[in-house]
Chain A
Amino acid sequence: MYNLHLTPEQLEIRDTVRDFVAAEIKPPALKPERLEAHVRPLLVDILDQASQMGLRTLALSEEHGGAAADNLTCCIVAEELAVGDPDIAAVLAQTATLARAWFDRVMTPEQRARFLPAFLADERYHLALVEHEGDAKLGIDYHRPQASEAMAGIAAARSGSGWVINGTRQCVANAAVAKLFAIEVRAGTDRMSTILVPRDTPGLSVPARDRADRWGHGAAATVILKHCHVPVENLIGSEGRNALADDAGRGIPQAEAINLGIGRAAYEAALDYAQLRVQGGRRIIEHQAIGTKLAEVAIRLETARAAIWRAAWASDHPEAFADRSLADLPLTTMAKVFASEAIYHATKDAAECFGAMGVMRDMPLQKYVHDALVCLHSGVGNGEAKLRIAEALANYRRPAAPAVLAAE
């Protein structure tokens, strides 16, 4: 049954992370040098502390050394972390999600034996997935079978006892901090295979992050593979099958939860300020104009949370689609569109409460607005997301689509 009661464990971890954010993340995250949109060094020490708390392995099964949190719990944690710092939240969410997919589900016992001990032992061991570029925009291919653009991307060829991989991919989430990559490659046919490539493999390089990489949360960077040689045992699943995409199931709305955390940070700041700032002879929250503005912000955040939690719960309970409790719709994609638009609006309203201080770079409000703006365009972007939802509404099945498109 759909139940909005959080478990004692969920409440406890939420409070723990909330305290951690207040005590450890907010102070360094609010320093002026961290508030500049385009030069924002990752808070590496904080990331280490969060790893020590178990947030890097949050979703991994207990059997493999994790906390076995479900998707809703992961979303609650991501929201809390993002109230303090969306970059920290994004890095941990990506590693935790991939760790569960890889170590719990798709790796062979031999692969697990090779990679899991190092992953568990090293708190700076993060994971990155280099997705195939074939997840091109629908655009003119909306509701039509053929992908219009040639499948470019990263290619792998067999060579002796291994694979040789060549190609480049921009804006790969976590690339700047990852020690293990899973690369979706074309190997001969149009079908995709997925190959594990450790960071220290000769030929793999990650150049310094550029402007496009920074237009996003986390530690995205470009990944370059030049004659990168890995043993044949690094193949995940079987050749010609995108094992990760097959496994992905319904999308987990973690990016949306991070977006929500950004909105909450703006809201909490505005609510505090509105109760302190006096103009017009009273605290500004006592003016109708500001009071109703904050009410609208709160409405947008609460309704966004409802959409996100519902999608998260649905991803934990696929049987709810099977028994027709839930409509068979891409709930996570729908939550993304709704939440990102609502929260961008909410951050702008929150910033307006601050007057001129709302646009100052040494103040956090302009950063929240920027961070929310980035969410409007992150992932597939809202224009693209609406096309995907429209296809789903019409029960359109994309015959030649790469598996990643079918994931949500």
Chain B
Amino acid sequence: MDFTLSNEQLAWQMTARKFAEEEIRPISLARDEIEDPRETFDWEIVRKGSRLGFRTMAVPKEWGGHGSDFVTQALVMTELAKADSAISKTFSQCWKWSHLIAATCTDDQKRRFLKPFLEDDTFLLGKGISEPSAGSDNRLPPADDPKAGLKLRAERRGDEWILNGEKCFIANASVGKLFFIDARTDPNAPLKQGTTMFLVPRDTPGFRIGKVFNKAGWRFYQNGEMIFENARVPHANVVGPVNGSDMKSHQAGDRTGGDLFGDLELAANALGVCDDACSMALTLARTKQQGGRPLFEQQVVQLKLNQMHMLTEALRSFVMRVAWEHDHKTHSANAGLCMNYSTDVIQEVTELNLDLHAGAGIIDARADKLVRDGIIWSHLAGDSVQRMKVTRRVGK
């Protein structure tokens, strides 16, 4: 057992910490409070972070990225999320799909898409799976209902595919330049045997972005609607085999990420939020006085601080172990379990932080924001479907 970080890992961590404190934290609350969900984004922070490598760090070195390992990725996500969970997620969302490009795209596709991604500080990535009538059905396709799941239709016409249908809740939809889109290419086959993944650039004819969803938390991170009306995508943009879209976990062999990275991502992000909540609570307990004495002296305050730190440090151990296991290509259900666990931890820790503030008579906007950000995990990382899906990995 050795928990020592390498000099390179430490350097990334320090750069991320400095950037988070100096650049992200000052804009975090103001962005959260913008009412119009389309207006929460800030390209300047994306450009600045991109120049430091936070957008492209997961791209392999041979393709011009930083080739950071998973431990480094976890460290950076945590540091960025300490200042703003949603801004951290905006960057790491690009890593998830850089893993996918590196692992599954042809050299021609990498040339066409990775190169511009690396060159353009405002080039963001996304992936469209969810649809209005297909959420859980995509994650856990029911054996007894082969037609369940996404409905977006793609039909071959010569060298092109014609896409019709819509996606919803798609991360980075309103700000991204390139999307991986899952579409049904064989409507009579079950989801896994009838779906193909396409690379769809933003300017694809027949493809447009609809509404931007007005979320209670993660305000900066935009989720949007995608509408395909006879959208024309060249056959050269098919990722992997036709009718074999399940690239991110199975055929990609869990090497990359896809599910595994995504699970680690949510857990590492939650850890940053917990660090922030612990630090806020500790500062409050040390500085806020009652009867001339700091709140820290009170037993009920100590017990709450203890619970917050205990859970946060347990999550840190789990996150770093999972990152290390990914780097050592050890396959297990741990990433998923860690993601499920991070849901319970982020919510309890942020709620305790709010409780300590409210108990001291302070309605703190940031404490409220952390709780709202944490509740996002219920619908992404710790819902019943995500837990059962991970259990199936355990049971394999």
Q: Chain A interface (Cβ within 8 Å of chain B)? A: 36-37, 39, 137, 139-141, 148-149, 211-212, 215, 278-281, 284, 287, 289-290, 293, 348, 351-352, 354-356, 358-362, 366, 369-370, 373, 376-377, 381-384, 386-387
Contact = CB atoms under 8 A, between A and B. Distances in A.
A254 to B, nearest CB: 21
A327 to B, nearest CB: 24
Given A351-B378, A355-B136, A366-B216, A140 B293 contact: yes
Interface stretch (B10-18, B114-122, B142-150, B311-319): B142-150
Q: Which 9 A-B pairs have the closest CB atoms?
A: A148-B291, A281-B145, A289-B384, A377-B358, A366-B216, A280-B142, A281-B142, A361-B214, A279-B136
Contacts of A211: 363, 365
A145 to B, nearest CB: 13
B291 A140 contact: yes
Contacts of B35: 36, 39
A387 B299 CA distance: 11
B298 interface: yes
Given A279-B148, A370-B216, A352 B378 contact: yes
A275 to B, nearest CB: 16
A141 B291 contact: yes
Contacts of B214: 360-362
A80 B379 CA distance: 29
A193 to B, nearest CB: 25
Contacts of B136: 279-280, 284, 355
A358 B290 contact: no
Contact of B213 (A137, A290, A360): A360
Contact of B379 (A137, A355, A384): A355
Interface in B124-182: 130, 133-137, 140, 142, 144-145, 148, 168-169
Q: What bracket does the count of chain B residues touching chain A fall in? A: 35 or more
B323 interface: no
Nearest to B215: A359
A362 B355 CA distance: 26
A52 to B, nearest CB: 34
Interface of B: 35, 37, 130, 133-137, 140, 142, 144-145, 148, 168-169, 213-217, 223, 290-293, 295, 297-298, 300, 347, 351, 354-355, 358-359, 361, 363, 365, 371, 375-376, 378-379, 383-385, 388
A383 B371 CA distance: 18
30 contacts: A39-B35, A137-B359, A139-B295, A140-B291, A148-B292, A149-B291, A211-B365, A278-B133, A279-B135, A279-B142, A280-B140, A281-B142, A289-B384, A293-B384, A352-B378, A352-B383, A355-B136, A355-B383, A356-B223, A359-B375, A360-B214, A360-B215, A360-B216, A361-B215, A362-B214, A366-B216, A377-B355, A377-B359, A381-B358, A384-B359
A361 B216 contact: yes
Residue from B144, B216, B297, B378 having most chain A Cβ neighbours under 10 A: B216
Given A139-B290, A289-B385, A384-B359, A359 B379 contact: yes
Among A36, A139, A284, A387, residue most surrounded by chain B Cβ atoms (within 10 Å): A139
Contacts of B144: 281
A82 to B, nearest CB: 20
Contacts of A139: 290-291, 295, 298
